[in-house]
Amino acid sequence: MSTQKAAHAGERTTSLGIIVFPGYQPLDVWGPLDIFYSLSRYKKLSLAIIAKQAGPISSRVPSHSMSPGGPIQQSPSTLAPKIVATHSFDDAPALDIILVPGGGGNRLFESTNDTSIEDFVSSRYPELQYLLSVCTGAATLARAGLLEGRRATSNKASWNWVIQHGKNVTWVPTARWVVDGNIWTSSGVAAGLDMTYAFLKHYYGENDQEVKDTMNAIEYAPHTDPHWDPFSIVHKVPGADASGSLSDVTKPAGY
Amino acid sequence: MSTQKAAHAGERTTSLGIIVFPGYQPLDVWGPLDIFYSLSRYKKLSLAIIAKQAGPISSRVPSHSMSPGGPIQQSPSTLAPKIVATHSFDDAPALDIILVPGGGGNRLFESTNDTSIEDFVSSRYPELQYLLSVCTGAATLARAGLLEGRRATSNKASWNWVIQHGKNVTWVPTARWVVDGNIWTSSGVAAGLDMTYAFLKHYYGENDQEVKDTMNAIEYAPHTDPHWDPFSIVHKVPGADASGSLSDVTKPAGY
């Protein structure tokens, strides 16, 4: 973002919408959200947590069968912490930024023919400034057709499943996050924290002191190299850059 | 934990209780919780989210005055994401582990004479296997008298406020986390992720593959040195080890 635009971003209220669904991965949401929450001490931000229906949404994947009449499968992760969705897809406010998380529940959308998230994101995309995904949330963006002709990345442990989605997507196998136009996609789960820091520096300006102070306030030393991705090696992603290092140097923001 | 005990920990269901309160810091809870959630694919775990009253609990700090008749102060962070507490202090189940987070709401307990969290934690401590705190949650443990004669650490940005609490506590100024007996205290916010990984290796055994696989599944490369703490330098904590490095090498778990 140009310096002029970046300065402008600091003056008006930025409307953030985060999508949730049963079986979303907790940190996909709450990692970026903690940064936005902490930054709201300084910046004008508003937040909508958006789901098919407002109310409590559990991270436990609903019991399901992957085919009609097939065996019932239970959630692999048994814990069921809940976030409260403040809005439904029908009454969500105007949004500048949408963040789409991933998680085990993501895999049920196809078997249940549930296109509600991709429909919502597609319908809102023209008015958005930015669209962000974390983890397997990129599969939702791909299904929505929004990654066509674009570069993107996703969770490395679920890579082979994710890349079946979408048409004409250039999936980048070794990347902590990828930027293409106004769509930012991150690798799995914790990568959302690093993408969010990079995004906020883009949005508010590279040298915005409040963004840096926020990272140091939450005592998170971000990975700042988008090419750092040892997990593409760990999870044996086809085409991963195996010459990449498994280790990386992190530093507090601004040092 | 001995190898025998560690093996035992894998066989029975471990009952985890996480405390929340209005104005808790999101990542203090959801960082460790995402690790436990993801690990519950492999390990027998149960979860209770415990508050003064069950139901939705916001991270927004309630409007308050710090003295009787004093000026009303608004929450510094304006966003208000909500978690659902499943239990109250009165009906919480038997627990093996309690985790106490910090957050801006922590500072109101004294001005409102609210001792409910410290009372609950004190009353449950004798039956616990482990007590964990993240961030300014250590101030709650100190007020409860549980850190007397112990070493502990806490959030570095709020250090001078935290160390006013408790009697005969040895506050360790440069530490990502500190272990003293069965009480684990971490530095601020994101440090909870690193402490949780170290704790789980202690609890399930240093070479437990499922713990390592979980960290790689969530694509988090933990800081594994408890003495790594650049934030004690950044936030100018009195007595901090200024010879410490601001940077650190992280690696995927198990490499």
Cα radius of gyration rounded to whole Å, chain B: 18
* Interface predicted TM-score (ipTM) of this complex, two decimals: 0.95
Q: Which tens digit of pLDDT belongs to each residue from B105-122?
A: 999 998 889 999 999 999
Q: Of B40, B156, B219, which has the smallest distance from its Cβ to A189's Cβ?
A: B219
B20: pLDDT strictly greater than 70: yes
Share of chain B above pLDDT 70, in %: 96
Whether A221 sits inside 8 A of B155 (CB atoms) is no
Regions of chain A where pLDDT drops below 50: 1-2, 4
Confidence of residue B182 (pLDDT cuts 50, 70, 90): very high
Q: Which amino acid is at B96?
A: D
pLDDT on residue B70: 80
Task: Write down all domains in chain A, each with its CATH number in brackets.
Answer: 3-60+77-234 (3.40.50.880)
Nearest to B197 by CA among B172, B221, B178: B221
List of chain A residues whose C-beta atoms are within 8 Å of the C-beta of residue B189: 34, 38, 217-220
Q: How many CB pairs under 8 A join A and B?
A: 182
Output Rg (C-alpha) for chain A, integer angstroms. 18
- CB-nearest to A234 from B30, B47, B216 is B216
Closest-CA distance of chain B to residue A176, Å: 10
In this prediction, residues B46-70 reach a mean pLDDT of 91
How far apart, in whole angstroms, are the C-alpha atoms of residue A218 and residue A221? 9
Contact between chains at A81 and B189 (C-beta distance less than 8 A) = no
Query: pLDDT at position A69, please?
Result: 77
Tokens 């001005």 belong to residue? B111
Whether residue B253 contacts residue B218, with contact meaning beta carbons closer than 8 Å, is answered with no
Quote the pLDDT of residue B10.
59
Q: What is the Cα–Cα distance from A212 to B55, expressed in whole angstroms?
A: 34
Q: Residue B28: pLDDT band by 50, 70, 90 thresholds?
A: very high
Contacts 24+ apart (CB under 8 A), A240-243: A240/A156, A240/A173, A240/A174, A241/A173, A241/A174
CB contact under 8 A, B248 and A249: yes
Task: Give A190's contacts in chain B (Cβ within 8 Å).
Answer: 193, 218-220
Residue B5 has pLDDT above 80, yes or no: no
B96 token code pair: 């093996």
pLDDT at B8 (0 to 100):
54
DSSP 8-state class, residue B70: P
Q: For position A74, what pLDDT does the model report?
A: 84
SS (H, E, C) chain A: CCHHHHHHHCCCCEEEEEECCCCCCHHHHHHHHHHHHHHCCCCCEEEEEEECCCEEEECCCCCECCCCCCCCECCCCCCCCEEEECEECCCCCCCCEEEECCCHHHHHHHHCCCCHHHHHHHHHHHHCCEEEECCCHHHHHHHCCCCCCCEECCCCCCHHHHCCCCCCCEECCCCCEEEECCEEEECCCCHHHHHHHHHHHHHHCCCCHHHHHHHHHCCCCCCCCCCCCHHHHHCCCCCCCCCCCCCEEECCCCC
CA distance A38 to A47: 13
Across the interface, whether the CB atoms of A246 and B255 are under 8 A apart is answered yes
